[in-house]
Amino acid sequence: MELRRVQMTGGSSFVVTLPKDWIQEMRIKKNDPVGLIVQPDGTLLVTKKTTDEPLQRVKEIDIGHITDPSFLFRMLIGTYITGFTEIRISSKQRFPPFVRSVVRDFTQMTIGQEIVEETDTLIVIKDLLNPAEMPFDNTLKRMFVIVRNMHVDAITALETHNHALATDVINRDLDSDRLNWLIARQTNMIMQNPSLSRKMEVSTGMAMYYYIISRIIERIGDHAVRIAENAEPTMDIDLDPKIIAALKKASAMSMNIFDKSIISFFNADIKEAHKTIESVSALENICGDISNMAFKQETLAAISISYVAESIRRAGEYSADISENVINYIVEEDRSLHRRPAGK
């Protein structure tokens, strides 16, 4: 850390000099303006950037040595999440057919990405979404609704032997992934561009908590998919009604923990978060009982039911992780006495 003394000039203005190396690196000259941004933690950010225009970042991808479609897709997702606003995919020769297919899948599976230029050797993808138009609160609430419905429908598919509903739950997982990727992208963009933090009215620290919680919700969605997948082998078997009843009870307990964790987050309610964490042990007990009951079923059904019970338990435990992060953030920011209303 480089220390500078604050001086007074003109009897009322405070002045501090800027490091010469930084001035030269930023190519700042005499009388050039600089931006000053007060951060939520009290620090002062000095930046050459003096407008609120989004930071434009271009990623060049030469696919000359890429032959694996999955690798190209993962590169595109990584580029999207890290906040690049333009992606230029190029090749010295005509694109192989898989490139356009991967690019098409990428633009359909991400939010705001559109192809703006396309030739035999060049594809340009641009981000057309203004991050400030997609508030974290709205995205996270939408994720919550999608994932909660996935879990409930997966249990319903198991109970009613509904193959189509189970398949629909599996397909809906992409909706959850898209929103999680969006939150990850916006978080990275905020870290790179503090003015975006001000525009979205969320601190960099809070943005990180949104990302952490979105990742947890996405994992709960993954377990809803596992429930739907493991429901399939049981649909041609008459399960013990007591097992079905126990699964429904455990599922309701798990989703109750999920509900209360999300409410405690949006209400910044540290006491509710603590109570929610304490309720997980009852869920773990009933899921253990279901696994024991499953041993009386046929082998295939027993395995599937045990996996379902495990996913119900994990969904509840992940929900408790949300409450733990609520407590961590409130303690860090000392916000327990300054709750913000839900949706604000």
Tokens of 18: 């800027």
> What are the structural domains, with CATH classification, of the chain?
7-47 (2.10.260.10), 58-127 (3.30.110.20), 132-333 (1.20.58.220)
DSSP string, 260-276: HHHHHHHTT-HHHHHHH
Give per-10-residue mean pLDDT for the chain (344 aa). 80 83 85 76 72 76 92 96 94 93 96 95 93 89 98 96 96 96 93 78 88 97 97 86 94 97 95 94 94 83 93 97 94 58 43
Q: What is the per-residue pLDDT for 337?
A: 41
Residues 199-250 have pLDDT tens digits of 788 888 889 999 999 999 999 999 999 999 999 988 888 888 999 999 999 9
Q: What stretches of the chain show up as alpha helix (H) in DSSP?
A: 20-25, 69-81, 97-109, 136-160, 163-192, 194-200, 204-231, 241-266, 270-278, 280-294, 299-333
Q: What is the per-residue pLDDT for 334?
A: 67
**CA distance linking residue 122 with residue 95, whole number of Å:** 8
Neighbours of 331 (CB within 10 A): 11
Amino acid symbol at 282: A
Q: What is the per-residue pLDDT for 33?
A: 86
Q: What are phi and psi of 245, to 5 degrees?
A: -65, -40
End-to-end CA distance of the chain: 37
**CA distance linking residue 69 with residue 20, whole number of Å:** 47
Residue 195, C-beta contacts closer than 8 angstroms, at least 6 positions apart: 35, 37, 47, 49, 52
Tokens of 237: 């078997």
What is the pTM for the complete model shown?
A: 0.83
Q: What is the per-residue pLDDT for 89?
A: 96
**CA distance linking residue 276 with residue 318, whole number of Å:** 12
Q: Is 40 strand, coil or helix?
A: coil
Q: Which of 299, 145, 309 is nearest to 223 (CA)?
A: 309
